[in-house]
Each structure stands twice: as structure tokens, then as C-alpha cells.
Structure 1
Amino acid sequence: TPERRLRQRYTLSHLAKDVSNQVGRVEPTRDWFPISLISAFSAFADLAHGPESQWGTVSCGCHPNCGVGTALMINKHTKEWAPVPRFLDVPHLVEDIKKITDAARSKNFSNLMMGLALLKNYRPYEAPPSLALIDLWRKFDKSWGLTPNHVKKYGNSGPDRTFEDTKKRREEDPWNFLFIAGMWFQDLFNYDFRRTEMCIIPYATQQGEISFCAYNTGIGWRKIIENMYKNATVAQWYRTHGKHQIYAKGRTVGLESYEHSLTIDSEDAARVRPKEHDIPMTAAEEDRLRRRKALEEAAKVRALYEEMVLKKRQPAVVQIGSVQQIKSATGPALTTTANVGAKDAVKQVEEVAAPAGD
């Protein structure tokens, strides 16, 4: 129903607004872009790597409505941060990168033009105070492997990397990219066939190849496939293998030590969602409400069966009534003497009940 959709639907625009409100300094209409925007940078990286490269760069060629995201540049030491689109003009930078890629010049000349494009679209006064332009260029070089000696400078990131490579990449670079994104398939109230057709993630199933979005949304191919080919129900699995421990509803997890370095805001941790009505807000609450109603109906049917078929006498229920019903039944005399003693109340009742003229 429209009411249910308005209560429960959570879109990517909601995500952008809520993250911006929670994190701060993130503008929903400026800092969020389609995930497929990354393909412009991937195409340039393939140009810089050259045709002799064994593998191409990971590219996202999905529909623009597939998902949205934003990136934050964070200093691991000083905790300074800012959204990348705040100090980089991303739309114009992407247009410049597309022109550089289409020009298909040599590797060194393309890297030079890439550096000029960063310089052109860089806003130094909007960046974190300790972020210099050279740091931004190093970050791009490290992420995309643009220069010939990037492995020597930053460490290897390939499948043959070592622990020293990982340590070097993490410790020597003070800046981190934090990517925040959401995907369209999580919106269960909207199904875009055109977007589903352009899904770039295929699932190999017993029924053939099914796209990621069709598998996880829509009519629910995941549930169909899993029910068709499941080995056992949950109850059968528990009977065979036992039930694992469930830590919920305040149950403490048995750990050797509970010490940690996390800083938890007590106000945020104690915050609960205010509930001003009994209308279910999520699918889980709807399921619980349906189960509760089903149990109530089953109890009523059971009571009728015991009374009509088994001839069991049902316990008599005495209806006491509400306070207003008691007041109306006792009359105005007791109502006006609610704050006096019991003897005075009885006396006034007798006076009211006496015949007129006695």
C-alpha cells in the first residue's frame, strides 16, 4: 500500500541525506555520484598501463542508477578529513580525464596531462589543512599504479604481495580513502528492468545465469533457487549438527578480555527509535505481527473446539469494567463523595435512597 511504502521505503537519496546529516561537511547534492563514475578513472589507468599489461583495471559499467557513493579523504594521524568532491571538482575532472583517455597519447604525456587536470580542478582552501597537491597525486599514483616504479615506491598490491608490501602501503601513506555507498537493489519497493538488464554481476545457478539484481530483488530468485535445491531445512540441520550459540537480547559473549580501544558515545549507544504507534515499520515487525495474530486466531479456534466438540466448560470471565463504568453504575452520590470516609459515603447513599417526605 502507499502508506506501507512511505513508512518502510528507504532510497539512496535517504541514505545520502542521513549520512550527510550524521557525518557533517558532506553535501548530498554535491558529494554523491553514481558508482559507475569510477569507470572513467579505470579507462585512464588502462591507458597508462599500456597494452602490454597482463590485466586490465576493474571497471564498473553498470547503470547510473545502480548505486551512489562518496569518498572521504582522512588523515590517519591527525584525523583531519574532508569529502573528496569538496576539494576536487569531480564533474570537470571526469570530463578532462575522458578527453585525456580519448587522446591516447604516450604513458608519460598522459600522466602529465592527468597531473595538470588535478591541478586545474583542485580547490586547496577546501581540502584538509595538511593535504598538499603532491599528496593527492601520490594517492592517485598509488591507487591506479600510473608511474613505472609505483611498486618500489608504495609496495606491491598484486596477488604475489608480501606482508612487507602491505605494511609499507599502510604505514608510509598517512591518507586513507573512505568510500561510502549504497546500491539500488536494496530498495525493495522499486524494480527497474532497464537497470537490471545492465547488471554487470552474473550469478551461476542451477537454473542458469541470473544477474545479481534479479537474484536479490524483484520476484526473489534467491529464495526460489535456494528452496529448490536446499539440502535440509533449518530444523533438520539443527537436529543433525546441533544449534549454534545465539548472542542476542543482551546476552554476553564469552570473551577472554573485553578491553578495546573504541570510543563509544554513550548518548548514541543509548539512543532508541521512538515508537509512537503500533504500525509495523519493517518487514520483520510485519512478520511478528502476522505471527501474533495467527496465534491469537489459533487460540480462539482451539477454545471453540474444546467447548463445542470436547464439551469442556470454559472458565467464566468476570468483567470488572473501567473506572468510568463503575462511576456511572454507582450513581452521583458515590461520585461526589470519593474523597470522604467510607461511613460518610454510606450515610449519604442511605439519605439519597430514602423515600421523599419521611
Structure 2
Amino acid sequence: MRLGVGEVKKKPLEVLERKLSVVQPTNLDTSLPRRTLSLCPECRRLIPAEIYQEDEKVFISKRCPDHGEFRDLYYGDLETFERFHEFALDGVGVENPHTTIRNSCPYDCGLCEQHYSHPGIVNIDITNRCNLRCPICFANANALGYVFELDYEHVAAMLELLKELRPVSPPAIQFSGGEPTIHRDFLKMIRKARELGFPQIQVATNGVKLADFQFTQALVDAGLHTVYLQFDGFKEEVYETARGMRNLLEVKMRVIENCRRVKPEPLSTVLVPTVLKGVNDDEVGEIVNFGLENLDVIRAVNFQPVSLSGRIGYDERMKFRYTIGDLIRDLVDQTDYLEKEDFYPVPVAAAISELVSAVHGEEKVAFTCHPACGAATYLFKTDDGRVTPITRFVDVEGLYEKSLEISQNIKGKRFGRIRALVKSFDILRYIDQDKAPKGLNLRGILKAILLKATKRSLADFHWKTLFIGTMHFMDLYNYDVERVKRCVVHYVTPDGRLIPFCAYNTGPTYREEVERKFSIPLEEWKNVAERENAGD
């Protein structure tokens, strides 16, 4: 069904001066209290805000001249917040920005020259239709009165645009919505992404269609790499609260089994729980344990603390507000193998990206998001059932600092090409192989990454471990422009722009503007669909 209006802009602006690094020292103020910019939850005007500590937590407060004072919890654990900021790094943005700067962030998204990071994961919303009616969904797919659904030609052009990004094209694209699996051309879109050579092709799904084994196998045959499966816990009442219906757990279990059964190998599955305080925060440890029990198919658990929408008073927000600091504390309390110190902010991994880029003389993707945006660790499970976090045998901070030091020396021309490669092996000393789980040769894997930096060498690591991650997407109450400027998760739009996740969904009205521009009224869509189905 062709609903597109206009054309994808394939001609980006003139390429800026090339940067040889993928990270740089941050200019972020990491002290408390500190000033930032935020948005008014009522009128979305850009207003000053302050981030400050109180009762071992971090809060944000702001005042709109028309709508008054607003206060919200920014981060639930001061100690973790301050530790994470020690690893703040900025990226280098994009060399071919698609929009010019006319206003202040976040009003010039496209990306513009103000953006510090390059895209690591790009979402493509291919429809706003859905086969569920989730109360917490920011896409609000069934209540808008119009259908936003891109045709194959538009999506193909958007994928081609992403391959042109510099200094590095995004390694991962994720089809999203709505529910992307109900789009009639979804398999064709996956095949196009595979044809273009994206290393990671993903789908964010509620799993309803993947309960059909034949459909799941068709996804694999088309070229899908990873399923991001909405998975909110094990209690039916959780699904009733979060998704508007019971009996969804059985569907999720069937999807996981189908992903296990497909050929030629299991389809990599990431569990994605949306966490609401007082609803399913008591199950986060059990969800991780479930992932560890199914390592043959589940590769990661990526928690998403709920983003609150609509007009909600402070007391009501605090009933549901859940932050990364709260999640880490609950994971420690609900498991017998995790500590707070096992978690690090996402930019820690960017130091390795910088080193690999320096050694190979070409830019690699670096996840240089704001320290408050996410957290992660890796867990390894041995045959006897013992679970070991990566921090028990890797000096993460030493590895981080040494990687940056060697990178600077390479870029400073202190090492030739061969010596640079040999010198990069110095980071291997921060891995205590004697304490590593039996059978895991992490030194060998990291050495292979430095030598070849191939998808296979990275896969060797990920297929032996469970990644535990979290990203806390913002809403209008805890909005911080400094986080938007460093976002690494973006949406590509039909008119050729790249917009940070939190700007697209909860900042200025980008989602509404894009969807209305490329949509038709619901009743008109039903008539068109009926005619097309009759012709099939």
C-alpha cells in the first residue's frame, strides 16, 4: 500500500572536515548541582533546569514562566550516578549532517552539527498499526485516527541513506512501530537490509506473529539477526497493566521456543522488559535468571524503565518512576551474583572502539551516549551453574584507561602500524584468565577483535555470555537536553532526517509531525486495504 508523500532526501550537506577519532574528551559538566536545559511538560518550551542531589538521589527541577514549577526524580542512586560520570566521553558526531542549526537543541534534529555522537542503532518505524493496545505505548498506535505506514520503496531509500552516513554508518537497524511484523512487505524490507550489508538487522516486536513457527523461520530466511522481544515478567497481571490483556506470557514462551527451533541456528533473542515501580520491579532478578537458563537462544536482557506520558502530578509520577539506579539496586537485591560495581555506563565500551579504530586506521562505531542514559554488564554461566560477572576477571577501569592511552599514542604518530598493533595487546593484561570461567578465552577473543575487528570475532564473545543492559528513555518531566545531544539511538524519517530517540518520542512534536505528513485517515486506509486484499 503506497502511503508515502514526497521523497527521501538522499543528498546530505557538504561533508565536514574528517575527524580521525570516534571519541573525544567530554565537555559535559559532571558536577552537582549543575545547570542544563529542559522542556516544559505543558507547552514544550525550552527552559532552564537544575540537576541536584537530595537524600542520596538525583533530582531535576525547572520552572516555566507560564506553567510553573516542575520537579522529578532524575536518578535513583547518587553513588552510581557519580561513578558513571567518571567515564563520560563525547563522540564526534556525523561528518555529513542533514540539517543546519537555526535554533537550540532539540529543535534542529536531522542530525545537526550540535550532535556529539554518531548513530549506533537506528529505528525505522514502518507502521503505527499494532495487534495489541498497550496502555504504556508511546507510539499510541490505535488511538490516533490515522494510519502511518511506509511502502517498500520509501524504506529501501531510507536504508540506502543510512549507508551514506560518515564517519561510519550505523551497524544496527531495528524495524519498529506499531508492530512491524504486520506490515505486508516486512520480509521484503529485511531482505533489502541484508542486501545492503547491515551487520545487525533487528525487529522490536510484541511477539504475537512470531508465535507462528513458519513466520519465525521466514524471518530467519529473509536475513533477520535479532528479535527484541517485549517481555515484562511472569505474572499475568503485569501484562494486563502494561499491555492491556492477560494470557500474553504463553505467547512469549512460544516465541522463545520458535526462536530456538529455527534453522540453521537459534535466532538471537533479546528480552525487553518495560519496568514500572510497584508493577514488575520485583521480577527483574527472575527475568535475568530466566535468560541465564536459556542461553542457547536468549543473548541479552535490556531493561527499559517506563517513560511517563500525559499530565501526571508529582506524587502520582513517584508511584511509577523507576530509574537505572533503582534497577541496579533491585538486581543486586534479587540475585546472589551481582553487585552495584558490576555495572558500568555505556561509554566505557567506546574506549575499545577508539582503540580498534586507531589500530585499523578506520572509524568504528562508538556508543558515546550520556552516562545517565544506560548501564550494562556481562554475565557468564559455567556448566556447574555458577554465574560470574565480567568484572570478576576483567579490570574494566584499567582496560578503559589503557585503551584511551594507547589510542592517543597511535594518533600522535608515536607508533607505526605494526608497533601500534603490538602495543594494543597491552590491554590483554587487564584480563585475569585464571579467574575467568572455564572454557572462556576472553584474551583470545579480544586479540581477534584487535587483529580483524570482524563480526565473527564479536559474535564469539556474545554467544558465550548474557548481556544485561538498560536504557532509560526520557519523558517531558525528566528531560535533559545534554542527553539528547549525545544520543546514539535514532529514528530515520521518510523525509531523510535522523532524530534522537527521546527527541522523536517525547521532545518536540517530531513523531506527530512525521506521522501526520506521511499518513492517511484510518477509514480511508481501511477502504484501500479492503480493495487491495480483494485483489490479492
Q: What SS does the corresponding residue of 2:520 show, helix, strand or coil?
A: coil
Fraction of identical pairs, as percent:
27
| CA distance, structure 1, for counterparts of residue 421 and residue 332 of structure 2 | 33
One-letter identity of the residue aligned with 2:467 = F
Give the corresponding residue for 2:139: none
Give the corresponding residue for 1:221: 510
Shift in CA distance, 173/37, structure 1 to aligned 2, threshold 3 Å: closer
Give the corresponding residue for 2:21: none
Bigger RCO (CA 8 Å, 6+ sep):
2
Shift in CA distance, 96/208, structure 1 to aligned 2, threshold 3 Å: closer
1:47 aligns with 2:358: yes
**Paired residues of 1:9 and 1:188 also in contact (CA < 8 A):** no
Q: Which has the higher strand share?
A: 2
Q: What SS does the corresponding residue of 1:34 show, helix, strand or coil?
A: coil
Q: Of 472, 482, 501, which aligns to 1:184?
A: 472
| CA distance, structure 1, for counterparts of residue 527 and residue 359 of structure 2 | 58
After superposition, where does 1:102-251 map in structure 2 within 5 Å?
102-104=408-410, 105-119=415-429, 121-123=430-432, 126-128=435-437, 130-131=438-439, 135-142=441-448, 144=449, 146-147=450-451, 150=452, 157=455, 176-186=464-474, 189-200=477-488, 201=490, 203-204=492-493, 206=495, 209-233=498-522, 237-238=525-526, 241=529
In the TM superposition, residue 181 of structure 1 has moved relative to its aligned partner by 1.7
| CA distance, structure 2, for counterparts of residue 14 and residue 216 of structure 1 | 23
| CA distance, structure 2, for counterparts of residue 60 and residue 169 of structure 1 | 15
| CA distance, structure 2, for counterparts of residue 223 and residue 83 of structure 1 | 42
1:10 aligns with 2:334: no
In the TM superposition, residue 214 of structure 1 has moved relative to its aligned partner by 0.3
**Paired residues of 2:337 and 2:387 also in contact (CA < 8 A):** no
| CA distance, structure 1, for counterparts of residue 324 and residue 462 of structure 2 | 31
Give the corresponding residue for 2:372: 65
**Paired residues of 1:93 and 1:117 also in contact (CA < 8 A):** yes
In the TM superposition, residue 7 of structure 1 has moved relative to its aligned partner by 0.9
| CA distance, structure 2, for counterparts of residue 169 and residue 95 of structure 1 | 21
In the TM superposition, residue 210 of structure 1 has moved relative to its aligned partner by 3.1
Shift in CA distance, 31/169, structure 1 to aligned 2, threshold 3 Å: closer
Q: What SS does the corresponding residue of 1:33 show, helix, strand or coil?
A: coil
One-letter identity of the residue aligned with 1:118 = L
Shift in CA distance, 174/16, structure 1 to aligned 2, threshold 3 Å: closer
In the TM superposition, residue 122 of structure 1 has moved relative to its aligned partner by 3.2
Which structure has the larger Rg over C-alpha atoms? 1
> Structure 2: which 5+ residue stretches go unaligned?
1-312, 531-536
**Paired residues of 1:5 and 1:189 also in contact (CA < 8 A):** no
Give the corresponding residue for 2:345: 34
| CA distance, structure 1, for counterparts of residue 502 and residue 525 of structure 2 | 29
Q: Of 404, 407, 414, which aligns to 1:101?
A: 407
Q: What SS does the corresponding residue of 1:20 show, helix, strand or coil?
A: helix
Shift in CA distance, 42/203, structure 1 to aligned 2, threshold 3 Å: same
Shift in CA distance, 173/222, structure 1 to aligned 2, threshold 3 Å: closer
| CA distance, structure 2, for counterparts of residue 240 and residue 23 of structure 1 | 52
Q: Of 306, 312, 337, which aligns to 1:25?
A: 337
| CA distance, structure 2, for counterparts of residue 48 and residue 182 of structure 1 | 30
Shift in CA distance, 218/24, structure 1 to aligned 2, threshold 3 Å: farther
Give the corresponding residue for 1:336: none
- Count of paired positions: 213
> Structure 1: which 5+ residue stretches go unaligned?
158-165, 243-358
In the TM superposition, residue 89 of structure 1 has moved relative to its aligned partner by 1.6
